[in-house]
């Protein structure tokens, strides 16, 4: 079967999803990221790898943080970065996604970092580039609909590997709004590919997708049951807009059942780490004592995220 992410030589040409990525490609990205981590700690935080390349951040959906981390990563690789606020310009004027892309290719873009509310938009873009014979232009998915957020998944794997070294004995709990979370989907795919012993999905019935069991995870509706003896706890952001619907009674009720407190965290292993993709809602999905506590690795995740995005762009641009 044709894998749209790989070129004819089996090398990574676009990063669209963790699904379909061979294990050795994931490991190569993580290994490369550890070299880039050192670059960001230097006096001159820059390597000349992408000198003269143009990276276009094309965000059809707002996300200051993700866009900024991609921008920092590209700049540390010496690329020229162009941020396009397409929601307020071309799209608002009625231009289609592919027309926007064709225009940017005509401006000699080398790489697109794309976020789109529609699942599959980065795939559409990658297959369009192939069709017009521009396989030399690369696409990075920075989040598409509810589908995938592969760089977040990869940086989560980098974080876990950094603290836990090996995946084979790990029990990882993912807690919260898995239904709407592209991060959760990417994490589950990555954890299964890397051979984690057990992945648990914890949340209320209304926030777990019906197909979740097919993804090879253990479903827990009870937080205590799900956290017991786990090595890694990944908390997901509860999007405020979900509160207004019929999915949840109230933020307070949610915190009572699924918010991570020190007391609940004690059920996990004593050396368990707590992760969160940010931005956090303190007092909704995570208590401040935990977020600022010794087991939280939420800020290191941000630092690792730059190195992982540098690795992804560095590898793509060379293929």
Residues lying near another protein in the complex (CB under 8 A): 11, 28, 31-32, 34-39, 42-44, 46-49, 314-315, 318-319
The burial of 70, by beta-carbon neighbours within 10 Å (0-12 exposed, 13-18 middle, 19 or more buried), is given as: buried
In the complex with another protein, which residue's Cβ is closer, 19 or 110? 110
Q: How far is it, in rounded angstroms, from Cα 158 to Cα 141?
A: 18
In the sheet that holds 273-275, the strands lie side by side as 218-220, 198-202, 171-175, 232-235, 273-275
CA 279 from centre of chain: 13
Q: How far is the CB of 162 from another protein (least distance, A)?
A: 13
Please check whether residue 97 is in contact with residue 121, taking contact to mean a CB–CB distance below 8 angstroms: yes
Closer residue to another protein, CB minimum distance, 51 or 65: 51
Smallest gap from Cβ 45 to another protein, in A, equals: 9
Please give the order of strands across the beta sheet that includes 111-116.
80-84, 54-59, 111-116, 138-144
Identify which of residues 12 and 148 has a Cβ nearer to another protein in the complex: 12
User: Which residue number, 36 or 255, has a Cβ lying nearer to another protein?
Assistant: 36
Q: Give the closest residue to 196 by CA, choosing from 220, 232, 247.
A: 232
- Least Å distance, CB 227 to another protein, is 34
**Nearer CB in complex with another protein: 77/188:** 77
Q: How far is the CB of 233 from another protein (least distance, A)?
A: 29
SS3 83: strand
Residue 7: CB minimum distance to another protein, A: 10
CB 140 within 8 A of CB 15: yes
Q: Minimal distance in Å, beta carbon 316 to another protein?
A: 9
The token pair that represents 82 in the structure block: 């162009």
Q: Is the CB of 136 or the CB of 225 nearer to another protein?
A: 136
């Amino acid at each position: 079967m044709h894998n749209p992410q790989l070129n004819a030589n089996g090398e990574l040409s676009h990063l669209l999803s963790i699904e379909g990525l061979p294990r050795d490609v994931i490991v190569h990205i993580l290994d490369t990221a550890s070299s880039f981590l050192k670059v960001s700690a230097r006096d001159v935080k820059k390597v000349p790898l992408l000198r003269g390349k143009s990276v276009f951040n094309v965000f059809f959906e707002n996300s200051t943080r993700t866009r900024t981390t991609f921008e920092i990563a590209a700049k540390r690789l010496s690329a020229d970065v162009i941020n396009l606020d397409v929601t307020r310009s071309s799209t608002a004027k009625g231009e289609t996604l592919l027309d926007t892309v064709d225009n940017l290719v005509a401006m000699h873009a080398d790489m697109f970092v794309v976020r789109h509310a529609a699942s599959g938009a980065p795939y559409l873009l990658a297959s369009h580039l192939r069709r017009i014979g521009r396989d030399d232009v690369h696409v990075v998915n920075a989040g598409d609909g509810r589908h995938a957020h592969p760089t977040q998944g990869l940086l989560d794997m980098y974080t876990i590997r950094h603290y836990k070294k090996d995946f084979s004995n790990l029990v990882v709990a993912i807690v919260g709004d898995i239904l709407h979370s592209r991060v959760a989907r990417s994490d589950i795919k990555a954890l299964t590919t890397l051979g984690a012993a057990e992945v648990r999905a914890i949340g209320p019935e209304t926030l777990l997708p019906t197909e979740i069991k097919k993804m090879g995870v253990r479903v827990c509706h009870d937080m205590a049951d799900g956290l017991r003896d786990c090595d890694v706890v990944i908390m997901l952001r509860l999007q405020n807009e979900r509160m207004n619907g019929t999915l949840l009674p109230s933020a307070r009720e949610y915190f009572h059942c699924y918010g991570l407190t020190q007391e609940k965290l004690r059920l996990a292993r004593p050396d368990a780490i707590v992760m969160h993709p940010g931005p956090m809602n303190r007092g909704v999905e995570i208590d401040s004592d935990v977020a600022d506590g010794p087991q939280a690795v939420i800020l290191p995740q941000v630092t690792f995220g730059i190195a992982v995005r540098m690795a992804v762009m560095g590898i793509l641009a060379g293929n």
